Chains A and B, each alone.
Chain A
Amino acid sequence: MTKYLAYFRGKMQTLLQYREAAISGALVQIFFGLLRIYLLKAFYASSSLVPPIPFEHAVVYVWLVEGTLRLAPYAPDGEIVQQIRSGQVAYEWIKPLDLYHAWLSRSLASKIAPTLLRFFPVILISSMFFGFRAPDSFLAGLSWLISLSAAVLLSAVITNLLNITLLWTISGEGISQLLTASSYLLSGQMIPLAIFPDTIRDIFRFLPFSGIIDLPNRFYLGELSWQQLPIALAFQFAWIVFFWIVGQGVLRAGIRRIVIQGG
């Protein structure tokens, strides 16, 4: 266990160095968040139909999305890309650790560190100037934190599966773009899932990506009550276990076919 913790800590410490980049990143995200809010505001103002969620909720939802943007699975681990390209990955197999969990520790760190760095500036500025609000109630906030923790794990197992597919694709750029696109749409990062047509919304909410952004956000807003937390966690953990098993299976298959060139 301590070995994996060391992997986690190493990656965390590396990533937490990028503070200036995180600040400018947070500013960029505030700009994009504002554009999104003005767009929604214009749509809300021009419709006589009853909106699926109140505008104030949509605003808070957008800021939660911007604050936790880096939580979503979107790109493979840069170092693992390098290792696979250069063949250094062979040395990783010699080490007395389970490669899947070593990589998973890194994936976890790569989700947590950038999110921590960006969350606070985005939330601070948006709550001062742009309509971000405290959670619906204390229990809503607590449920949000708990389901957000599960979301981190879910995102990490998906990211790790992306890392593993690099054994086939080498660059991973195509797949990571597809993944980015799906997670953008399906997690609720572009617009709250509630805005999609009802049947499409229900399908999206059944897919794993909704467990990363949409689900925690709905606890925060009080759209889901804390009594529903066990069901939500069961949903998230069902997908976590699914990707955990698939990831290990794919890794095993990948290792079997790999040929290491001497050099």
Chain B
Amino acid sequence: MLSMGQLLVTGIEFLVVLALFYRFDSLLTWSLAEVALFYGFIHMVFAFSDAFSRGFDLMPLMIRTGELDRMMLRPVPVFMQLAGKELTLRRLGRLVQGMLVGIWAWNELNISYSIETIGLFFWAASSAFLLFQAIVILQATLCFWTTESIELGNLFTYGGVEAVQFPITIYPTSIQRFFLFVIPLAGVSYFPLVYLMGKANFFGIPVWIAFLTPLAGWFFWAFSLLVFHLGMKHYASTGS
């Protein structure tokens, strides 16, 4: 039931995209199939990442109850235990609709199935996965100092999905820069996908940059783990 609901909730977002294309033909230089590739990619990856991230949302609870102390005794890194803690199928709906839309777009755009394209796809997907997880880890790390959860992370995850499900060229430069340099979602989604479409990237940068920009997701993730470890060092049990 929950997954069905999810499928409908996120499926409805795509209906809106269809309605907009019906009314307006095109989105600047982008066709429906191209937008669908951005859309399918980010929803698919976010669904995956969300499944491995929800455990971090329990951090404030676990700090309060002392559950975290118990985790620290186990011979497995705490962040890995947290990542696997709330592994649910709740996001199955989002995953399925993202895949359907993505596969349709891939075929519609006649993207070949070669080592280069598939490789780039998974390279980009893996770093987008880590980037979303990193945002949640950073949000959870704040709990070491505040013991309360801050909603700001949701703004970057859900807000990020909302923003980069469309090509970022439609936004003003301030928003583009934000997703290029602060939360580097453009690096893990926009550049690789534009390369797959065989289009210029509109930033005057050589297209092969698409193979490098996903590194941003990995760096961001490494940074978040570093901050997490700093938080762990700072952590003193609430002693319940």
Contacts and interface: CB of A to CB of B under 8 A. Distances in A.
A, B from the same assembly: yes
A46 B27 CA distance: 6
Interface in B141-199: 151-152, 154-155, 159, 162-163, 166, 170-172, 175
A47 B24 contact: yes
A83 to B, nearest CB: 21
Interface stretch (A85-93, A132-140, A183-191): A183-191
A54 to B, nearest CB: 13
Contacts of B25: 46-49
Nearest to B13: A190
A35 B159 contact: yes
A49 B163 CA distance: 25
A166 B110 CA distance: 48
Interface in A188-204: 190-191, 195-197, 200
Contacts, number: 99
B73 interface: no
Contacts of B2: 173-174, 177
Contact of A185 (B12, B29, B170): B12
A31 B25 CA distance: 26
Nearest to B29: A46
A241 interface: no
Nearest to B150: A24
B70 interface: no
Contact of B8 (A32, A49, A181): A181
A173 B5 CA distance: 9
A38 B175 contact: yes
Interface in A17-59: 21, 24-25, 28, 31-32, 34-35, 38-39, 41-49, 51-52
Interface stretch (B14-22, B58-66, B132-140): B14-22
A136 B19 CA distance: 27
B189 to A, nearest CB: 15
Chain A residues touching B, majority SS: helix
A195 B171 contact: no
B182 to A, nearest CB: 13
B97 to A, nearest CB: 12
Contacts of B151: 21, 24-25, 28
Nearest to A186: B12
A43 B24 contact: yes
B118 interface: no
B24 A49 contact: yes
A39 B1 contact: no
Contact of B19 (A25, A32, A173, A196): A196
Interface of B: 1-2, 4-6, 8-9, 12-13, 15-16, 19-20, 22-29, 151-152, 154-155, 159, 162-163, 166, 170-172, 175
Given A28-B155, A35-B175, A177-B8, 16 more contacts: A25-B151, A28-B154, A31-B159, A32-B162, A35-B163, A43-B24, A43-B27, A44-B24, A46-B24, A49-B23, A173-B1, A177-B6, A178-B5, A184-B9, A184-B12, A196-B19
